[in-house]
Amino acid sequence: MTSETIAAGASALPAVPLTVEGASVLHQMMRFRWAAWRALPEETRGQILEEAAGVLGRMEKPADGRQSAVYSLLGHKGDLMLVHFRRSFEELNEAQLEVARLGLSGYLEASSSYLSMVELGLYESTSKVYSGLAAKGVQPNSEEWKKEIEEVLARQRMAMAPRLWPEIPAAKYLCFYPMDRKRGEAVNWYTEAMEERQRMMHEHGMVGRRYAGEVRQIITGSIGFDDWEWGVDLFAEEPLVFKKLIYEMRFDQVSAVYALFGSFFVGVRVPVENLPSVLRV
């Protein structure tokens, strides 16, 4: 096969980068009905909190990729945020229903939510795999192509299992926000060549790596699941690092040119055993 043939084939390769997916994730942002809560007898509040502590306490413990956590939100966007990591959307639905059945849910009003799935992008692997298959003359989206791609993804899923099925970090603070890549008339991420997107994502990732000891980042994909394309969870012991990391990322090309951001939610981790102190009147 000539170099011209290979080059022509490369231009026809799929534009979509490979990804591997893991945990299903649901963020539930809630406002608390303080007036109705204060009107309850103290004994009734105690019974409701005891029930909630039993159910949420069980959900809080990591169990084979299943875990929930509670955060006290800062600002007007809500009072509490529940974060659920599960093995499937069915299990997420079960978690949501478990919360809804609690007596405490009568004093919780949903202010927002976000549905997504842990996602790891494989830009570097994608370029190598696509080019290698093209060099062998394998046609994109043929049965042979799909078989070899699935073998690559299976190996990646096994190698990256700890990142695909993480426990919720025990850090004191959480910053969550959704984001998109621009699809405007002048600037459109999805019309850039694979090699150029790979280069920009590498530079973008290098910024995050400089904060590896201070921030734990979990990226979730939400295309087809929610209003934005990705969700980002940042976990840290000090909130200032969120500002520093996100501000520095504003200056790399991916963020400066192609990024759009949704609302930011910042919360303080509340161990379930401490929930009564958060909701005391």
Give the list of residues 6+ apart from residue 195 with CB closer than 8 angstroms, or none: 127
Among 114, 123, 177, 211, the one annotated catalytic = 177
Q: Which of 195, 198, 207, 189 is nearest to 248 (CA)?
A: 207
Cα dihedral sign for 128, 129, 130, 131? positive
What does the longest C-alpha to C-alpha distance in the chain come to?
82
Q: For residue 239, with 0-12 CB atoms within 10 Å meaning exposed, 13-18 middle and 19 or more buried, which class applies?
A: middle
Residue 107 designated active-site: no
Backbone phi and psi for residue 22, each to the nearest 5 degrees, phi listed first: -135, -115
DSSP run (H or E) holding 220: strand 215-221
AA letter at 107:
Y
Tell me which residues are annotated as active site: 177
